[in-house]
């Protein structure tokens, strides 16, 4: 028995908002939320058709917002400092290669604001944005719906491994920086023949 739409209207609205924000460029786990919604639909807690509609519309709208942000704030996205600067620079470098080679690939596989930064035209961007949103929505939601708990479990294991690796890398980097800072404070500066202070 499928769940009525009204019973979980808030879940569909929340999914729409999450996908909109994720596709607009915020670092939000939109795909994980969509996968979870697909699994819930597979269990009969949500209706898959409404999961697809809400996620597809949210992704499409978010992609358009991301494009607009990139188009009008491109210089800031390239130069502004902040905690996400390195991520932006990596995405810009990857996006530049994709835009040069094949614009549809840039829309399909790079954040949507990349197309705006490099001034891909609206006429080119919009249809490919819809195709990308629909494609990723179908793959992720139906994957959760059909494969269900097995796919969710596999994703959970992968996320746990990624998180553990991230903690190890961050810890090692912090230890390295601490050692370098500590060593530079203790060791006197080296002098070489010919230095004014040597």
Residue 181 domain boundaries:
150-187
Query: Residue for token digits 């035209």?
Result: 121
pLDDT of 28 reads 84
Q: Are residues 134 and 164 in the same domain?
A: no
Determine the pLDDT at residue 124: 85
Is residue 198 scored above 50 in pLDDT? no
Look at residue 148 in the predicted model and tell me its pLDDT.
72
Same domain as 173, residue 130: no
| Cα–Cα distance for residue pair 96/123, rounded to 1 Å | 19
Average pLDDT, the chain: 75
pLDDT digits (tens, 9 = 90+) for 98-138: 676 677 777 777 778 778 887 788 888 899 999 999 999 99
Contacts with 72 (C-beta within 8 Å, 6 or more apart), sequence order = 116
Same domain for 57 and 13: yes
φ, ψ of residue 110 in degrees (nearest 5): -115, 160
User: Could you tell me if 101 and 168 lie in one domain?
Assistant: no
pLDDT of residue 2: 54
Q: What digits encode the pLDDT tens for the residues 157-185?
A: 555 555 556 556 666 656 656 666 666 55
Backbone φ and ψ of 116, nearest 5°: -70, -45
- Specify the number of domains making up the chain: 2
Judgement on whether residues 162 and 69 belong to the same structural domain of the protein = no
- 53 and 134 within one domain: yes
Signed CA dihedral, 75, 121, 134, 140: sign only: negative
**Is 193 part of any domain?**
no
Q: What pLDDT digit, counting tens, does each position of 30-58 carry?
A: 889 999 999 899 888 899 999 999 999 99
CB-CB contact of 55 with 36 (8 Å) = no
pLDDT tens-digit readout, 63-106: 999 999 888 876 555 555 555 566 666 666 666 666 766 777 77
Q: Is residue 197 part of a domain?
A: no
Q: Where are the beta strands (DSSP E) in the chain?
A: none
When pLDDT is averaged across residues 149-163 and rounded to a whole number, the result is 57
Average pLDDT over residues 2-29: 83
Q: What are phi and psi of 176, to 5 degrees?
A: -65, -45
C-alpha–C-alpha distance, residues 15 and 35, integer Å:
11
**4: pLDDT strictly greater than 60:** no
pTM of the model: 0.63
Same domain, yes or no: 49 and 143 = yes
For residue 151, what pLDDT is reported?
53
Residue 190: pLDDT band (50, 70, 90) is very low
Q: Has residue 189 got a pLDDT over 80?
A: no
Q: How far apart are CA 28 and CA 24, in angstroms?
A: 10
Q: What is the largest CA-CA distance in the chain?
A: 87
Q: Which residue has the higher pLDDT, 30 or 187?
A: 30
Task: Compute the distance between CA of residue 91 and CA of residue 162 in angstroms, rounded to an integer.
Answer: 20
**From CA 170, how far away is CA 42, in angstroms rounded?**
37
- Domain-embedded: residue 198: no
């Amino acid at each position: 028995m499928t769940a009525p739409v009204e019973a979980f209207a808030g879940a569909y609205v929340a999914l729409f908002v999450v996908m909109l924000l994720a596709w607009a460029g915020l670092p939000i786990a939109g795909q994980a939320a969509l996968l979870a919604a697909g699994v819930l639909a597979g269990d009969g807690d949500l209706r898959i058709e409404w999961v697809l509609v809400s996620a597809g519309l949210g992704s499409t709208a978010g992609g358009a917002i991301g494009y607009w942000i990139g188009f009008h704030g491109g210089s800031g996205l390239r130069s502004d400092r902040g905690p996400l600067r390195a991520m932006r620079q990596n995405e810009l470098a990857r996006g530049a290669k994709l835009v040069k080679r094949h614009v549809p690939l840039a829309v399909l596989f790079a954040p949507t604001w990349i197309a705006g930064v490099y001034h891909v035209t609206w006429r080119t961007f919009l249809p490919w944005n819809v195709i990308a949103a629909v494609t990723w929505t179908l793959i992720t939601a139906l994957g959760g719906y059909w494969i269900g708990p097995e796919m969710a479990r596999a994703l959970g294991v992968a996320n746990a491994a990624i998180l553990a690796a991230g903690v190890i890398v961050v810890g090692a980097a912090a230890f390295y920086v601490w050692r370098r800072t500590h060593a530079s404070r203790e060791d006197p500066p080296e002098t070489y023949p010919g230095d004014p202070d040597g």
